[in-house]
């Protein structure tokens, strides 16, 4: 006769490390279900695709932030680097007349160089990432205003074609930026799951001192993740310039907080060592669906987006605390 304890032992419960991602997925499904039940047009698949179209640049930035937070760090400079990328791209394309095939790799290199520099300072001078990246945030935002104080429109043919192009499948479509963002997600997921850099990133986030004693390349890995974050911020800036067709020093104000929120809601521990890029993708979708629900409602101010996101952050931080307490 089968006892209750034997039945329980046969039930396959999900691993605790997957619980935050499963919670995010459940929340996303619930929000979409509520929207589809209350608004007829909300159930259209194009609504979901529009969430990707409107948040492709944020997704790329959040992927870079995921690498940093997995090591137990933080990067407050990402929004300013996005803005600097838009300003630098617009200035070189419009004022200098540089071709797109030169501007594109140049701005990506600038973003990567800023991330590399901050990573070196954080590791070799043993300064808290919060302070270093805060300085990087002010530096990048200040550099925007040395280029110009007003918005610079972009009418370069390549930029315009990327902004106006649509990749269609049947009655639905996405922009090229969505494809680029999803490719970044796939590459990041592969790197974290199957490469030495990914394993080292998790190890450093789990216990940096143990990682150092094990002979892991802590310096190289820390610098690499901040370089990746800088590159993703610059690429996010390029995608935002495709979306806005302009460069402006006030672009992406507060995007660093949105990126952190997406990563945390996606289940990555702020203390590092646990999290997945798929969770970050779900976190960005949650933020996008919240904005869409408020837009469909029409009665609430856009500020309710921030209120709901703040409440969700409290919930997921408490969930993280419960999970880490159980592990101990």
- Whether the model clears a pTM of 0.85, i.e. scores above it, the answer is yes
The pLDDT of 265-293, averaged and rounded, is 92
Among 9-13, 38-42, 151-155, 299-303, where is mean pLDDT lowest? 9-13
**Residues 83/136, Cβ–Cβ less than 8 Å:** no
Angle, CA 286 vertex, CA 284 and CA 287 arms, to 5° = 65
**Is residue 5's pLDDT more than 60?**
no
Torsion angle in degrees (nearest 10) through CA of 319, 322, 325, 327: -70
The CA-CA-CA angle for residues 317, 318, 322, to 5°, reads 120
DSSP 8-state class, residue 14: P
> In this structure, what token pair is assigned to residue 327?
């592990």
Q: Is 165 left (phi over 0), alpha (psi -120 to 50) or beta?
A: beta
Band (322; pLDDT cuts 50, 70, 90): confident
d(CA 99, CA 78): 25
Mean pLDDT lowest among 32-36, 240-244, 311-315, 316-320: 316-320
Model pLDDT, residue 324? 66
Q: Looking at residue 91, what is its pLDDT?
A: 96
- Given pLDDT bands bounded at 50, 70 and 90, which one contains residue 297? confident
Chain segment 22-53, per-residue pLDDT in tens: 889 999 999 999 999 988 888 889 999 999 99
Range with lowest mean pLDDT among 92-106, 120-134, 206-220: 206-220
Position 210 scores a pLDDT of 85
Query: What is the overall mean pLDDT for the chain?
Result: 90
CA pair distance 309, 261, nearest whole angstrom? 8
pLDDT tens digit string along 82-117? 999 999 999 999 988 899 999 999 999 999 999 999
Higher pLDDT, 293 or 9: 293
pLDDT at 280: 96
DSSP E strands in 36-166: the ranges are 152-153
Alpha carbons 249 and 113: distance in angstroms, whole number = 20
- For residue 328, the model assigns a pLDDT of 55
Comparing 9 with 202, the larger pLDDT belongs to: 202
Mean pLDDT within 255-264: 95
Q: How confident is the model at residue 325 (pLDDT cuts 50, 70, 90)?
A: low
Q: Contact, 52 vs 231, CB < 8 A? A: no
Is residue 13 predicted with pLDDT exceeding 80?
no
Q: What is the DSSP letter of 249?
A: T
Q: Which residue has the higher pLDDT, 321 or 74?
A: 74
Residue ranges with strand state E in the chain: 152-153, 167-169, 172-174, 246-247
Q: Is the pLDDT of residue 11 over 50?
A: no
Report whether pLDDT(265) > 50.
Answer: yes
pLDDT per residue over 52-66, tens digit each? 999 999 999 999 999
Q: How many residues does the chain have?
A: 328
Q: What is the pLDDT of residues 128-186, one digit of tens each?
A: 999 999 999 999 999 999 999 999 999 999 999 999 999 998 889 999 999 999 999 99
Please report, to the nearest 10 degrees, the dihedral formed by the alpha carbons of residues 256, 248, 121, 60 taken in order: 50
Q: Which domains does the chain have, with CATH numbers?
A: 15-327 (1.10.3470)
What is the arithmetic mean of pLDDT over 260-284? 92
Q: What is the mean pLDDT of residues 186-205?
A: 95
pLDDT of residue 300 exceeding 90, the answer is no
Distances in Å between the alpha carbon of 328 and those of 44, 69, 321, 324, 325? 44, 21, 11, 6, 5
Reduce the DSSP state of residue 166 to 3 states and report it. Answer: coil
């Amino acid at each position: 006769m089968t006892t209750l304890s034997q039945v329980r032992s046969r039930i396959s419960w999900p691993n605790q490390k997957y619980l935050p991602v499963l919670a995010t997925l459940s929340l996303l499904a619930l929000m979409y279900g509520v929207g589809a039940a209350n608004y007829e047009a909300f159930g259209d698949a194009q609504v979901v695709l529009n969430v990707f179209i409107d948040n492709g640049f944020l997704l790329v930035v959040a992927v870079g932030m995921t690498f940093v937070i997995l090591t137990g760090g933080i990067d407050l400079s990402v929004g300013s680097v996005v803005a600097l990328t838009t300003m630098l791209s617009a200035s070189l394309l419009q004022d200098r007349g540089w071709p797109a095939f030169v501007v594109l790799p140049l701005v990506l290199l600038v973003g990567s160089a800023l991330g590399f520099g901050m990573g070196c300072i954080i590791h070799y001078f043993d300064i808290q990432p919060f302070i270093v990246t805060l300085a990087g945030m002010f530096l990048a935002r200040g550099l925007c205003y040395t280029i110009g104080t007003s918005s610079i429109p972009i009418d370069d043919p390549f930029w315009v074609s990327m902004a106006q192009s649509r990749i269609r499948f049947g009655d639905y479509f996405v922009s090229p930026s969505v494809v680029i963002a999803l490719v970044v997600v796939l590459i990041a997921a592969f790197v974290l799951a199957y490469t030495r850099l990914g394993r080292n990133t998790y190890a450093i986030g789990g216990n940096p001192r143990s990682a150092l004693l094990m002979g892991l390349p802590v310096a190289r890995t820390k610098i690499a993740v901040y370089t990746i974050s800088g590159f993703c911020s610059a690429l996010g800036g390029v995608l935002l310039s495709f979306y806005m067709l302009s460069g402006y020093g006030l672009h992406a104000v507060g995007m660093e907080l949105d990126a952190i929120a997406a990563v945390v809601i996606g289940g990555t521990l702020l203390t590092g060592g646990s999290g997945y890029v798929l969770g970050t993708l779900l976190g960005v979708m949650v933020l996008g669906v919240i904005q869409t629900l408020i837009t469909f409602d029409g009665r609430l101010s856009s500020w309710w987006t921030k209120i709901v996101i703040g409440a969700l952050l409290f919930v997921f931080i408490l969930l993280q605390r419960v999970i880490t307490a159980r592990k101990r």
